[in-house]
A and B are shown apart, each in its own frame.
Chain A
Amino acid sequence: ETGVTQTPRHLVMGMTNKKSLKCEQHLGHNAMYWYKQSAKKPLELMFVYSLEERVENNSVPSRFSPECPNSSHLFLHLHTLQPEDSALYLCASSQDWDRGNTGELFFGEGSRLTVL
């Protein structure tokens, strides 16, 4: 138990569906992250929120829309996805975004997404 909870753990959706992934952290952290993990590729950073403000967007297609309503919750809204978007989506949190010399990440268990 890392203190970061992701739901759902598994999601199957069609290309025209709209769904959302949810992440909640119970650690009092100020920064939250979305990573994508595809087969045979390194983890890709998608978005970062610091104190509910988006501070990083790594050229992610607009069919992925993040939302951070407060410092404990992070959502990833999915719309009109492609089969190649099938992957494990990992949420993480860290104490702060601004500390360049530390930065342990606490990960959730991930949401396994399959796009048909």
Chain B
Amino acid sequence: SQQGEEDPQALSIQEGENATMNCSYKTSINNLQWYRQNSGRGLVHLILIRSNEREKHSGRLRVTLDTSKKSSSLLITASRAADTASYFCATALRITAGNKLTFGGGTRVLVKP
């Protein structure tokens, strides 16, 4: 299986609710990043968390990283219809030279008004 795997694959929530998605990976990382992709568009970087960090916040986003479990979570609080998108985690592997990111399959989030 692939380096980064998101869970769940799809998520449907009501506006105002929180959305949580998880990412698991297999090998040691330098950092883990989360990206958002609106349908048919490019990816937009949301947040980067380094291997020596445990939690980061950016606006309504909260990312945690547990290197012992090789997992990360992305929490979107007070979701809005505009948060409807696919969310991807990407890992920068410690063993890989250069700025090579490995992307997971993504979580599709639908926020219903």
Contacts and interface: CB of A to CB of B under 8 A. Distances in A.
Contacts of B98: 48, 50, 55-56, 97-98, 100
Interface of A: 2, 4, 6, 31, 40-43, 45, 48, 50, 55-56, 88, 90, 92, 94, 96-110, 112
Contacts of B101: 45, 103, 105
Interface in B1-32: 2, 4, 30-31
A101 B105 contact: no
B40 A90 contact: no
Contacts, number: 80
A108 B41 CA distance: 8
Contact of B99 (A41, A43, A97, A112): A97
A43 B88 CA distance: 10
A27 B50 CA distance: 23
